[in-house]
Structure 1
């Protein structure tokens, strides 16, 4: 299930915006706890709450203009295939229907949207239900600014909405929004956030219909194959296992892999109700169990892989945790019996 998650591409974009706004590396790690490899994976989904914490960092650093600052970093392609859905149909209206239908490729699937046509008006509406507040304001402004930017790129037309609506309250000064959207007709505390265009529905996008079908198919495949990221402690354990395989199971080495300081890592583990030593012991034990179950490696080789100085250290640690020796565990795993 990918409800209450967003794509790693969107998370990476918001993280970059927070970094540019002045957030520190420890703050970013505390909010997101993802490696660069995960942020580049189209199949990885990030908890929406983590992204919300990034937006809080942006608001703290940039204030009400933070949403538009983030939108300025959203170059075409940064949101993967979703960016190309804006030219997936022959006209802007048809393309926008694909954009909204497949919005979950980047956004939280629990949200929603609509594309409406009435006379000469074309309305793109966000129907997500979130309590209005300053952080929502940043998210709404970011979302609509990116939508406008992509619509302009797809049509090659300098589109200017005839109306822009937000659910959040009006800021003290919204000149930055007038400049960004090109119109004075900006409403606040509306039922939905939305962009309204006049005589724009039939604008051609110049998109190839066959390529559009491929993009839509890929977007659907991403949604079907997406997976949430591990829990915060799960991510740390993943890195511990990687470090162990590389023979770099020291606190400063693991912290470097997580792009934080050793002190920050220890503090984070304490917040999660555990400790560095407890997690090292846990990961060693789980990996030892896997090797004992799935291989015929001798004890000295398993000990070396786990970073123990000798097989005796492995045996002591394993018995302390499992209540039996590694040899007994291996026999039990093979036969279902400790005897023999």
Structure 2
């Protein structure tokens, strides 16, 4: 049985962006729904390769259900999650010589997408299944599992052609009142309330050859995936600091204090403070460095007034932000912006 990671599980920010895209397509304004969940759509869009604590994703799914009233909305989100949203892993998923290669790549590197579940291959005579099991003690919203499973089926149809079908679908989510959306999405009536979520395919279809990408492309993409995961698997202190930055980057200003970050990560404030103090500069320094990084990005990349930038970063007024920026950078935000605009023009 796989064990939960030492720190709070996270999900690729691209998933939150796919939810936002599906909400907008359905006529709902995504920004406020994300904000109620402790997330910032501009922050996510600026760093789609970043990580979002799964606890915030679960909160987001719950708010999506409240806003839409559609228990099957996760199936719609699957249509907005494209393979290339998964960066180098997306290239690997599309580049194999057989549909089975896409499944094997997903099994090897699923943690790039989310480390709140465990993905593996299972077999029956003539069949292979992709099994998705949430980690012990990890609450994953049923709509999230719907989206993961439906997007995997879309991937297999993309790489295996229209004839590729799941011959059997088991879903760990509770049985809905109306199963029609799930039957249409998966092509068969799923078996609800299963122990694990499993999509079963015919082995001969998975092993059928198809045109693939050059081996060099696959190797280069795999190197990129491994480098990304190595960053997630760094030393405990470095990883903890990285997770804190991920939460702040996704959640400012709704999530700003150490206590709020600890709650989002599912750890105690005391243990988070101790872990950061032992391994580095501490929470205040980590937060300030990230806030100033975002400030420079907004000053250089947008025409937003300083007061609007201050509000986005959680400062109570432009004066407080300007003082903090001057103390950090040695000049006011306006002077910094003017200097860098002149440099860019030259």
Same fold judged by TM-score > 0.5? yes
Deviations 1:121-142 (A, max 9, x none): 1110012236799x72211111
**Equivalent residue in structure 1 for 2:170, among 165, 169, 173:** 165
Deviations 1:84-131 (A, max 9, x none): 333443222233111121111121x24211012343111100122367
Q: What pairs with 1:99-178 in structure 2 (closer than 5 Å)?
A: 99-107=106-114, 109-129=115-135, 136-178=141-183
Deviations 1:35-62 (A, max 9, x none): 5364353542122222222212221214
Deviations 1:245-289 (A, max 9, x none): 779332x4645xx4xxxxxx9xxx6xxxxx614x953x4444333
Contact 1:288/1:306 (8 A) holds in 2: no
**Equivalent residue in structure 2 for 1:73, among 55, 61, 80:** 80
Q: What pairs with 1:234-253 in structure 2 (closer than 5 Å)?
A: 234=287, 239=294, 248-250=305-307, 252=308
**Equivalent residue in structure 2 for 1:288, among 288, 311, 326:** 326
Q: 1:93 — aligned with what?
A: 100
1:47 is aligned to 2:87: no
1:37/1:157 Cα in 2 relative to 1: closer, same or farther (>3 Å)?
A: same
Separation in 2, partners of 1:194, 1:206: 27
Decide which moves more: 91-100 or 76-85: 76-85
The alignment of Structure 1 onto Structure 2 pairs a total of residues equal to: 277
1:12 is aligned to 2:17: yes
Contact 2:33/2:64 (8 A) holds in 1: no
Query: What is the TM-score of this pair, normalised by structure 2?
Result: 0.68
Separation in 2, partners of 1:306, 1:78: 34
Contact 1:18/1:54 (8 A) holds in 2: no
Query: What is the TM-score of this pair, normalised by structure 1?
Result: 0.69
Q: Secondary structure of 2:40's partner?
A: coil
Q: 2:196 — aligned with what?
A: 192
1:242/1:165 Cα in 2 relative to 1: closer, same or farther (>3 Å)?
A: same
**Equivalent residue in structure 2 for 1:56, among 22, 39, 62:** 62
Contact 2:99/2:206 (8 A) holds in 1: yes
Separation in 2, partners of 1:89, 1:247: 45
Q: Secondary structure of 1:221's partner?
A: helix
Separation in 1, partners of 2:221, 2:333: 49
Contact 2:92/2:218 (8 A) holds in 1: yes
Deviations 1:159-184 (A, max 9, x none): 22121111121001111111111113
1:77/1:243 Cα in 2 relative to 1: closer, same or farther (>3 Å)?
A: closer
The RMSD of aligned alpha carbons is 3.4
Q: 1:222 — aligned with what?
A: 228
Q: Secondary structure of 2:134's partner?
A: coil
1:110/1:16 Cα in 2 relative to 1: closer, same or farther (>3 Å)?
A: same
Contact 2:20/2:31 (8 A) holds in 1: no
| Structure 1 residues without counterparts, runs of 5 or longer | 259-264, 270-274, 293-300, 308-340
Q: Which has the larger radius of gyration?
A: 1
Contact 1:166/1:189 (8 A) holds in 2: yes
1:280/1:203 Cα in 2 relative to 1: closer, same or farther (>3 Å)?
A: farther
- 1:23 to partner: Cα distance: 4.2
